[in-house]
């Protein structure tokens, strides 16, 4: 694959269809700039700011856009509220649609056949693969991203974080908790 | 198309294996495959639906044996070749052998951030009214097109409830095949797990898909 990608890249650059510097910049953007840290800021704000929280669930695109996030794989954003009785989980069974604008590029498992096949039929089994067991009566809402809506799960705020600043809460928000396959960290898990 | 990509509810793929501290890319070539794909949409002139079809339109055994970026790269090679932007002998040689074709636009380094931030909104203005309203029962049609569609097999023929009227959005089934954007009303449709997977299924599961109006019919 190394040789094949190099060959095509060389041809496309020689023909002037792509610029090397643009390629490098795209890679750097998704390696360093656009990642789950964006989504974590959205979630932390929703934990401390009731007005923002309401806005987020009413119009995810606008509320998240107010923090500067949106655009590619994030033009139409929907935030999903986890509660004591409802747990949300996001998948794309047909390809690997994922809210890049707030979470960056998807992890391998999200794009894999095991996740895409089972998330819609056996979400509890999938959660067990992540070491997560939900109460039997919790409703599980699975969102299959079949159009250009991109979903962001807002997990429940961990106990024992009363009075914490938004900046400190960001550290608790994990990528998987925003896909619905994990929980935020507990205060004791921070270094 | 009922291809290898339509994975919802299929069996035998084994457990999900999360990777602790996973890097964004696992190899140098994956970076190139990803960035070239993003950069080539400007000169290539194709749309996202065409790209998705180029990725999924291959024998299922092939689709399932390839990694995500292998699929991306194969689609990129296919599309650049189909449009005459590169040729087989150039790929063989690893160099350009012929003059470039004129292209509409090339992504300049200065435009990367702006282009990503603009993205590709798919909502369109319309004079039409949505046929369905929140709370309506609808049946996902039993369609089996050989062409691109975003209605997964596992909901076809099943009855769900309109949860959200999203707006009027570009219709992939047309847009993937040069039929234009043909915007249609888009809905989030919620299905009970037991409706989809039978009486033995977990009663606490609800699954939704985002479905365009042509995918849906009224239940009465």
- For position B162, what pLDDT does the model report? 98
Average pLDDT score over chain A: 97
Q: Are B191 and B208 in contact (CB under 8 A)?
A: yes
What span, in angstroms and rounded, lies between the C-alpha atoms of B150 and B4? 13
- For position A191, what pLDDT does the model report? 85
Q: Work out the number of other CB atoms within 10 angstroms of the CB of residue A186.
A: 12
Average pLDDT score over chain B: 97
Is A76 in contact with B16 (Cβ distance < 8 A)? Answer: no
Q: Are A45 and B126 in contact (CB under 8 A)?
A: no
What span, in angstroms and rounded, lies between the C-alpha atoms of B185 and B130? 6
Closest-approach residue (CA) in chain B for A134: B204
- For position A25, what pLDDT does the model report? 97
What span, in angstroms and rounded, lies between the C-alpha atoms of B173 and A76? 19
pLDDT tens for B61-118 read 999 999 999 999 999 999 999 999 999 999 999 999 999 999 989 999 999 999 999 9
Q: Are B217 and B189 in contact (CB under 8 A)?
A: no
Q: Are A114 and B16 in contact (CB under 8 A)?
A: yes
Q: Which two tokens stand for residue B209?
A: 């898909």
Q: Are strands B184-192 and A139-144 parallel, antiparallel or unpaired?
A: unpaired
A62 has a chain B CB within 8 A of its CB: no
Q: How close, in Å, is residue B202 to chain A by CA atoms?
A: 8
Question: Across residues B153-166, what is the average pLDDT?
Answer: 98
**How many CA atoms, within 13 angstroms, populate the side-chain half-sphere of residue B17?**
4
- Given a cut of 80, is residue A119 above it in pLDDT? yes
Q: Could you tell me the pLDDT band of residue A26, with boundaries at 50, 70 and 90?
A: very high
Closest-approach residue (CA) in chain B for A149: B210
Q: Which two tokens stand for residue B155?
A: 């909901």
- Given a cut of 80, is residue B32 above it in pLDDT? yes
Q: Could you tell me the pLDDT band of residue A186, with boundaries at 50, 70 and 90?
A: very high
Domains of chain B: 28-118 (1.10.472.20), 137-218 (2.30.30.50)
Question: Across residues A29-44, what is the average pLDDT?
Answer: 97
Among A66, A73, A85, A95, which one carries the catalytic annotation? A95
| pTM value > 0.95 | yes
Is B122 in contact with A108 (Cβ distance < 8 A)? Answer: no
Which secondary structure element, helix H or strand E, spans residue B205, and what is its range?
Answer: strand B205-212
- For B141-194, the DSSP string reads -----SS-----GGGTT-EEEEEEEEEEE--HHHHTTTS----EEEEEEEEEHH
Closest CA to A100 of A78, A77, A67, A73: A73
CB pairs under 8 A between A and B: 265
Q: Which of B29, B52, B209 sits opposite A144 (nearest CB)?
A: B209
ipTM of the complex: 0.97
Question: Across residues B21-46, what is the average pLDDT?
Answer: 96
Tracing tokens 């951030």 back to the chain, one arrives at B113
Closest CA to A148 of B49, B165, B75: B49
Which secondary structure element, helix H or strand E, spans residue A152, and what is its range?
Answer: strand A149-154
Question: Across residues A74-96, what is the average pLDDT?
Answer: 97
For chain B, percent of residues with pLDDT exceeding 90: 99
Q: Are A168 and A179 in contact (CB under 8 A)?
A: no
- For position B50, what pLDDT does the model report? 97
- Given a cut of 90, is residue B220 above it in pLDDT? no
- For position B64, what pLDDT does the model report? 97
Q: Work out the number of other CB atoms within 10 angstroms of the CB of residue A111.
A: 18
Catalytic residue check, A95: yes
Output phi, psi for B123, to 5 deg: -80, 140
């Amino acid at each position: 694959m190394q040789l094949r990608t190099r060959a095509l890249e060389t041809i496309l650059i020689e023909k002037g269809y792509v610029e090397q510097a643009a390629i490098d910049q795209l890679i750097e953007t998704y390696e360093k700039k656009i990642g789950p840290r964006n989504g974590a800021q959205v979630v932390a704000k929703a934990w401390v700011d009731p007005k923002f929280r309401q806005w987020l669930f009413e119009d995810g695109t606008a509320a998240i856009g107010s923090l500067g996030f949106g655009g590619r794989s994030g033009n139409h954003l929907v935030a999903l509220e986890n509660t004591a009785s409802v747990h949300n989980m996001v998948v794309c069974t047909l390809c690997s649609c994922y809210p890049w604008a707030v979470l960056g590029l998807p992890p391998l498992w999200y794009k894999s056949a095991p996740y895409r096949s089972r998330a819609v039929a056996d979400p509890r089994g999938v959660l067990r693969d992540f070491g997560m067991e939900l109460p039997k009566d919790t409703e599980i809402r699975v969102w299959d991203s079949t159009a250009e809506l991109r979903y962001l799960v807002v997990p429940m705020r961990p106990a024992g974080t009363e009075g914490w600043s938004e900046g400190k809460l960001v550290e608790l928000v994990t990528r998987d908790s925003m896909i619905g396959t994990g929980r935020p960290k507990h205060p004791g898990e921070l270094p | 198309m009922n291809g290898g990509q339509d994975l919802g509810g299929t069996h035998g793929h084994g457990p999900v294996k999360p990777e602790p501290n996973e890097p964004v890319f696992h190899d140098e070539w994956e970076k190139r495959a990803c960035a070239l794909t993003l950069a080539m949409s400007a000169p290539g002139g194709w749309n996202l639906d065409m790209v998705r079809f180029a990725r999924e339109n291959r024998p299922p055994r092939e689709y399932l044996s390839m990694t995500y970026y292998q699929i991306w790269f194969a689609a990129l090679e296919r599309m650049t070749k189909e449009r005459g932007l590169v040729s087989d002998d150039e790929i063989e040689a690893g160099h350009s052998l012929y003059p470039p074709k004129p292209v509409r636009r090339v992504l300049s380094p200065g435009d990367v951030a702006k282009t990503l931030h603009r993205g590709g909104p798919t909502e369109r203005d319309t004079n039409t009214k949505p046929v369905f309203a929140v709370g309506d029962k609808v049946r996902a049609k039993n369609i089996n097109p050989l062409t691109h569609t975003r209605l997964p097999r596992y909901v076809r023929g099943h009855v769900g409830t309109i949860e959200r009227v999203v707006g009027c959005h570009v219709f992939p089934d047309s847009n993937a095949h040069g039929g234009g954007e043909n915007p249609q009303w888009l809905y989030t449709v919620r299905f009970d797990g037991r409706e989809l997977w039978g009486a033995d299924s977990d009663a606490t599961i609800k699954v939704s898909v985002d479905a365009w109006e042509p995918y849906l019919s009224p239940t009465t």
